A and B are shown apart, each in its own frame.
Chain A
């Protein structure tokens, strides 16, 4: 078990290093860092000095090592556009994104799994067919269009929900949350539904397919032949055996939550890191882009490690083989 974890950690570190290298290449070669930091009337000498001071004349491996060291300390330099430290910018924006993603993902799981289980256990019922058509619509409608339509219907026409921003927030010192104020909750509903809808339909389809597959297996047939009750078979056997593959994919899906988070934040002007990233791209703000890249990779790697750990809790075959 420890060996397995170490192996996974090593892989994760390797992945992060590769991403760091990408970020570094971008940082170093896409655009001239000096040109961004100086004004037009800086002299050639000053520029050369700055070059030297920034270490841009060092051999590349040294520069990369320094880049990694600085990144480890959370130093990604200054944003070209906003002139503030990138790390502070990200820290400011992170809570908004995390709250939105978690609520959307929770929504997707809470609704998507029961729908999938139902559609898998009763594939012939009309409700299952309705779910299936609904899910097809869910994966066919682009996230941004769903967002816009929600704004149009609930924001503009009905005026029931705010159409942009986070509402009032409470500063807890290390975290600014919108979840402690009524207007915060009010504001998060539309973006969370927008972001959650795709995930929900995706998870529903996945769970349905897995349940259908498990229900065809010999051990389910044998359990039925032994007279085990339907409820036990459905929720004890089928559901538990479905969990392993569902967990994997659901873990991977978090990547797409981050990606579609960008779209959702952009539609709702939600002040998260996704919006920051979009703005950074359109203004070619390289430090922000590369820091965002690293942050996303870190989040992703951590989640995957967590999913791997969960495996051990569910699947005895893994627990045994790696003891």
Chain B
């Protein structure tokens, strides 16, 4: 046999089935591009945003409620116009996206850690441990994400002062979103673990004498990560929406700090008076962000779970 040429990672990824499906779907490619662009812009917000919405000195109330640059009365300095406090909308959207993506990513990461750990344990050991973990999961699933978040928010409010609560707001949201997502991850991981643990490669590891920890970490974990990746992607969308919803309801990120939800909340106050740009651009940003995440999630599901075409 001749030693075969291993092409580099990029070429292999490009040529793989996943890469093929990616290339064949213009919508997915577009979603990927938009996502990279949006997340990139959001991460680089402090450097590329024309104004710093946290810097009170740069805000001038005289600039309040300027429409987008191309409308009559618009100012080229403020591309998408300004809000009621005179903040540049384009900059606040950049910073807002940053908050939204940050909250979404951290809460999903936490949920995945907890869900994978408990799902593996429940699925592999079964019995009483499984029963207890799954009962908790069932109860948690009874309460949808937003309600869990609202409750936690309500409870923390009751023993914190308003300022403390504002400071803690992001943490509360992250915990709430993670709490509401982890049961789904745990369920999926448990189901996959139960399938994998009866597979013969796991039995073979048992016969070799490997301990439970090694079997879980080396054998089962890598084989259950596929569906976890799909769920994590889809729930990144859910978490971003959840944060936005809570902030919109005025219960999440305090109104002074931009997140896409608070921006829409502010915009909503001007719905009857005609300054619609304050509502529409943050809204479109949020929709585009989540839509791209979901499109990528669909593609991932296609690739990793060929059963669901």
Q: Footprint of B on A, CB under 8 Å?
A: 15, 18-19, 26, 30-31, 123, 133, 136-137, 139-145, 148-149, 151-152, 156, 209, 212-213, 252, 255-256, 258-260, 262-263, 266, 277-278, 280-282, 284, 286, 289, 293, 296-297, 300
Interchain residue pairs with CB less than 8 A apart (16): A30-B155, A31-B159, A136-B295, A137-B291, A140-B241, A142-B241, A142-B248, A144-B264, A156-B271, A255-B143, A258-B144, A259-B144, A260-B146, A281-B154, A282-B250, A284-B158
The 10 A-B pairs of least Cβ separation, nearest first, read: A259-B144, A30-B158, A140-B291, A281-B154, A140-B290, A31-B158, A256-B144, A259-B146, A259-B147, A284-B158
- Classify the secondary structure of A's interface with B: helix
Query: Are the C-beta atoms of A142 and B154 separated by less than 8 Å?
Result: no
Contacts of B271 in A (CB 8 A): 148, 151-152, 156
B154 near A280: Cβ-Cβ < 8 Å: yes
B53 at the binding interface (Cβ < 8 Å): no
Cβ-closest chain A residue relative to B292: A140
- Give the interface size class of chain B: 35 or more
> Which residue of B has the minimal Cβ distance to A216?
B307
| Residue B286, interface by CB 8 Å | yes
**Chain B: CB-nearest residue to A283:** B157
B309→A123 contact, CB < 8 A: yes
**Given A145-B286, A212-B308: A140 and B294 interface contact (C-beta under 8 Å):** yes
Report if B141 contacts A (CB, 8 A): yes
A255-B142, A255-B144 in contact; A136/B294 too (CB < 8 A)? yes
Residues in A neighbouring B251, C-beta threshold 8 A: 278, 281-282
Instruction: Given A140-B291, A213-B308, check contact A284 B154 (CB 8 Å).
Output: yes
What is the interface of chain B mostly: helix, strand, loop, or mixed? helix
Contact status of A289 and B151, CB under 8 A, knowing A136-B298, A140-B294, A141-B287 = yes
Give every chain A residue within 8 A of B158 (Cβ-Cβ). Answer: 26, 30-31, 284, 286
Q: Which residues on A sit within 8 Å (CB–CB) of B307?
A: 213
Tell me if A281 and B157 are in contact (CB < 8 A).
yes
Q: Which residues of A contact B141 (CB under 8 A)?
A: 252, 255
**B150, CB-defined interface residue at 8 Å:** yes
Of A212, A262, A263, A293, which is within 8 A of B309 by CB? A212
Q: Are A142 and B286 in contact (CB under 8 A)?
A: yes
A142-B245 in contact (CB<8A) = yes
CB atoms of B143 and A278 under 8 A apart: no
Interface string of B217-258 (1 = CB under 8 A from A): 000000000000000000001000100110011110000000
> Does B117 reach chain A (CB closer than 8 Å)?
no
Q: A296 and B147 in contact (CB under 8 A), knowing A136-B295, A284-B157?
A: yes
Q: Which residue of A has the minimal Cβ distance to B145?
A: A259
Decide if B63 is an interface residue (CB 8 Å cutoff): no
Kindly list chain A residues whose C-beta atoms are within 8 Å of the C-beta of B159: 30-31
Distance between A112 CB and nearest chain B CB, rounded to angstroms: 17
Q: Which residues of B contact A19 (CB under 8 A)?
A: 139
Contacts of B276 in A (CB 8 A): 152
* CB-based nearest A residue for B142: A300
* CB under 8 Å from chain A, chain B span 56-91: none
Contacts of A151 in B (CB 8 A): 271
When chains A and B are docked, how far (Å) is the Cα of A317 from the Cα of B130? 25
Identity of the chain A residue whose Cβ is nearest the Cβ of B138 in the assembled complex: A15
* Chain A residues in 8 Å Cβ range of B293: 140
- Complex CA distance for A242 and B139, rounded to whole angstroms: 26
Closest to B147 in A: A259
Is the pair A140, B264 in contact by a Cβ cutoff of 8 Å?
no
Contact A262 B139 (CB under 8 A): no
- The verdict on A262 contacting B147 (CB below 8 Å), with A140-B294, A156-B272 known, is yes
Given A140-B237, A280-B154, A282-B251, A258 contacting B245 (CB threshold 8 A): no
- In the complex the two chains form, is A142's CB within 8 Å of B308's CB? no
A-side contacts of B272, CB under 8 Å: 156
- Name 20 extra pairs, CB < 8 A, besides A259-B147, A281-B154: A15-B138, A26-B155, A26-B158, A31-B159, A133-B27, A136-B295, A139-B294, A142-B244, A144-B248, A144-B264, A212-B308, A255-B142, A255-B144, A258-B144, A259-B143, A278-B150, A281-B153, A281-B157, A282-B157, A282-B251
| Contact indicator A281/B283 (Cβ below 8 Å) | no
Docked Cα-Cα span, A145 to B261, in Å, equals 9
- B153: chain A residues at CB < 8 Å are 281
Could you tell me the distance between the alpha carbons of A18 and B142 in the complex, rounded to whole angstroms? 12
Report B24-39 CB contacts with A as 1/0, cut-off 8 Å.
0001000000000000
Q: Is B286 within 8 A of A281, CB to CB?
A: no
Are A145 and B142 interface neighbours, CB within 8 A?
Answer: no
A140-B237, A209-B308 are known contacts. Are A263 and B268 too (CB-CB below 8 A)?
no
Instruction: Give which listed residue, B145, B250, B287, contacts A140 with CB less than 8 A.
Output: B287
Interface membership of B279, Cβ < 8 A = yes
**In the complex, chain A residues whose CB is within 8 Å of the CB of B264:** 144-145, 148
Q: Please give me the residue from chain B that is nearest to A263 by CB atom.
A: B245
Determine how close the nearest CB of chain A comes to the CB of B119; give it in whole angstroms. 18
Is A149 a contact of B142 with CB atoms below 8 Å? no
- Within B255-302, the residues touching A (CB, 8 Å) are 264, 268, 271-272, 276, 279, 283, 286-287, 290-291, 293-295, 298
Residue of A nearest to B301 (CB): A209
Q: Which of B250, B279, B290, B295 is in CB contact (< 8 Å) with A148? A: B279
Most chain A CB within a 10 A radius of its CB, from B151, B251, B272: B151
Assuming A30-B159, A281-B153, is B249 touching A258 (CB within 8 A)?
A: no
Q: In the complex, A69 Cα to B55 Cα: how many Å?
A: 55
- Chain B residues near A263: list those with CB within 8 A: 146, 245, 248-249
Name the residue of chain B whose CB is nearest to the CB of A23: B151
The contact string, 1 if C-beta is below 8 Å from chain A, for chain B 146-181, is: 110011011101110000000000000000000000
